[in-house]
Amino acid sequence: MAQTRSPSPASRHGAAHASPAVIGAGTRIRGRLTGDGDVTILGHLEGGVQVRGELFIGEGGRVVSDVDAGALRVAGVLEGDVSVTGDIAMLAGARVRGDLHGAHVSLEEGADFEGRLDCEFDLPSELGTAATTTHARSARR
């Protein structure tokens, strides 16, 4: 179904079960990209990304935008805040700047990352409440 639609992956709609969209290495997009399935970016995208499936930023790919996705794998460059319902994986060679929010985050040795990681979990009760940390951190800064 998806193959007969417009070749521009950015305008795909409702093709969750079709082959994933690929933004090729030579493509530059300025604008929002939304996708119901998986999206692979090997080129350059600036604007906004909203992907229901997995967003994969390949080596050489560059995304400057906030990302809202089901899952995220980065081997290229990502600058922006990320909100993901599933897993985030930063692979060796990735360069990521931004705050990431996801269920699980993995960061391979060799990945370059600066930003916040926010996973949902609780520490054992012996280590006290959040108030301690906040106080400690603000004193540090």
The single residue among 14, 24, 31, 128 that binds another protein, judged by CB under 8 A, is: 128
Overall size of the chain counted in residues:
141
Among 1, 7, 26, 121, binds another protein (CB under 8 A): 121
**Of residues 3, 4, 126, 131, which one binds another protein by CB under 8 A?**
126
Q: Output 1 or 136, the one with its CB closest to another protein.
A: 136
The whole-angstrom separation of Cα 71 and Cα 78 is: 14
User: Judged by CB, which is closer to another protein: 17, or 141?
Assistant: 141
Which CB sits closer to another protein, 17 or 126? Answer: 126
132 binds another protein (CB under 8 A): yes
> In the chain, what is the straight-line distance between the N-terminal and C-terminal CA atoms, in Å?
55
Q: Hey, how many other C-beta atoms are within 10 angstroms of the C-beta on 31?
A: 10
The answer to whether 109 contacts another protein (rule: CB under 8 A) is yes
Q: How many other C-beta atoms lie within 10 A of the C-beta of residue 139?
A: 7
Query: Which range, of 20-28, 35-43, 57-65, 127-135, touches another protein by CB under 8 A?
Result: 127-135
Query: Is the Cβ–Cβ distance between 29 and 43 less than 8 Å?
Result: yes
- Between CA 123 and CA 141 the distance in angstroms is 23
Q: Is the dihedral of CA 23, 27, 28, 31 positive or negative?
A: negative
User: What residue ranges bind another protein (CB under 8 A)?
Assistant: 87, 89, 104-119, 121-124, 126-128, 130, 132-133, 136-137, 139-140
